[in-house]
Amino acid sequence: MPRRTGAYWQALPCYTRRYFTYTSIPPLKAFYSDHFVLPLPQGHRFPMQKYRMVRDAVLHQLAMVELSPAPAASDGVLALAHHPEYIRRIAEGATSDEEQKAIGFPWSPQMVERARRSVGATIAACRAALDHGAGANLAGGTHHAYADCGGGFCVFNDAAVAARLMQAERRAARVAIIDLDVHQGNGTAAILSRDDSVFTLSLHGASNYPFDKECSDLDVPLADGTGDAEYLHALGDALDELARRFAPQLIIYLAGADPHEGDRLGRLKLTTEGLRRRDAMVFEFAARRRLPVAVTMAGGYGRAIEDTVAVHVQTLAEAARYAAAWEGKLR
Domain chopping of the chain, boundaries: 30-38+45-326
Q: Does residue 271 or residue 10 have the better pLDDT?
A: 271
Instruction: DSSP letter for 36, please.
Output: S
Catalytic residue flag (residue 82): no
pLDDT of residue 25: 62
What mean pLDDT comes out for the span 291-299? Answer: 97
Residue among 144, 183, 260, 312 flagged as catalytic: 144
With contact defined as beta carbons under 8 Å apart, do 157 and 246 qualify? Answer: no
Query: Nearest 5°: phi and psi at 328?
Result: 75, 25
What mean pLDDT comes out for the span 280-297? Answer: 97
**Dihedral angle sign, alpha carbons of residues 133, 196, 214, 86:** positive
Q: In whole angstroms, what is the distance from residue 108 CA to residue 112 CA?
A: 7
pLDDT for residue 10 is more than 60: no
pLDDT digits (tens, 9 = 90+) for 64-116: 999 999 999 999 999 999 999 999 999 999 999 999 999 999 999 999 999 99
What mean pLDDT comes out for the span 260-270? Answer: 96
Q: Give the pLDDT band of residue 13 (cuts 50, 70, 90).
A: very low
pLDDT for residue 331 is more than 60: no
Beta partners for residue 85, in sequence order = none
Helix spans in the chain (H) = 7-10, 49-61, 75-78, 84-92, 97-103, 109-132, 158-168, 186-191, 228-245, 272-288, 305-326
Name the 3-class secondary structure at 285. Answer: helix
What's the whole-number average pLDDT of the chain?
92
**How far does the chain reach from its first CA to its final CA, in angstroms?**
20
Report percent pLDDT > 90 for the chain: 88
pLDDT of residue 38: 92
DSSP calls for 157-174: -HHHHHHHHHHHTTS-S-
pLDDT for residue 124 is more than 70: yes
247: left (phi over 0), alpha (psi -120 to 50) or beta: beta
Q: What share of the chain is helix, strand, coil (3-state, %, to 5)?
A: 40, 15, 45
Residue type, 228: D
pTM of the entire predicted model:
0.92
pLDDT of residue 43: 84
Name the 3-class secondary structure at 209. Answer: coil
Q: In whole angstroms, what is the distance from residue 265 CA to residue 206 CA?
A: 13
DSSP calls for 87-131: HHHHHHT---HHHHHHHTS---HHHHHHHHHHHHHHHHHHHHHHH
Q: Give the pLDDT band of residue 17 (cuts 50, 70, 90).
A: very low
Buried b (16+ CB within 10 A) or exposed e, 104-137: bbebbeebbbbbbbbbbbbbbbbbbbbebbbbbb
pLDDT of residue 27: 85
Nearest CA to 318 out of 307, 305, 330, 302 is that of 330
Question: Which CATH architecture fits 30-38+45-326?
Answer: 3-Layer(aba) Sandwich (3.40)
Greatest CA span in the chain, whole angstroms? 56
CA distances in angstroms from 134 to 72, 129, 293, listed in the order given: 20, 4, 5
Report percent pLDDT > 70 for the chain: 92
Q: Give the pLDDT band of residue 256 (cuts 50, 70, 90).
A: very high
